[in-house]
Structure 1
């Protein structure tokens, strides 16, 4: 006579090691990732010893939510450096940048970056 072996109860797998591994991966990727790149924006301080006296024709760039204007004349961003080049004698001449109305900070930063990429060194940001 043959007896059947007693049935074994199946053990449920432990989730603790898997949770530990997932947590370690999470910590690793949080420490190893770079969430954003910092960008430095150079703006001269009014009244500093490096500030230059304003000379020449007016160069007021106004940024609005719909676009920008140079001395009250609406322009596209691509034409801005050309039009300011006509009004300046050197890239160190002062350009005044003003945000108006509901202009976003990103719009102002884009115009500032465009001016600095075009070689203009002295951009003053005003209210």
Structure 2
């Protein structure tokens, strides 16, 4: 229900979710990611090590996202704002700039560059 028909593009931002994340967890994390960075339109959702697919800002708006709606988009059951459950952590490769986002950080599992440049660095 969160996924678009948009093909996976290696240049899209990745949102890594822990194994076993529910659709609700993925929705809340995606809303946090998109609220945090207005320039992101599409994101690749990865649950554990499995790519689930691509979702988008427009998909969440069509689903009635309370976080991404703007004034005049109608009333919702929840107030817009930052998620209280998730904080997005940004990572990027110092060599090529490939980026990924995570909702958790296990120090033993720092993301690595998909181009083979080694561990990614945290960014603000």
TM-score (norm 1): 0.28
Which is richer in helix?
A: 1
Which is richer in strand?
A: 2
TM-score (norm 2): 0.29
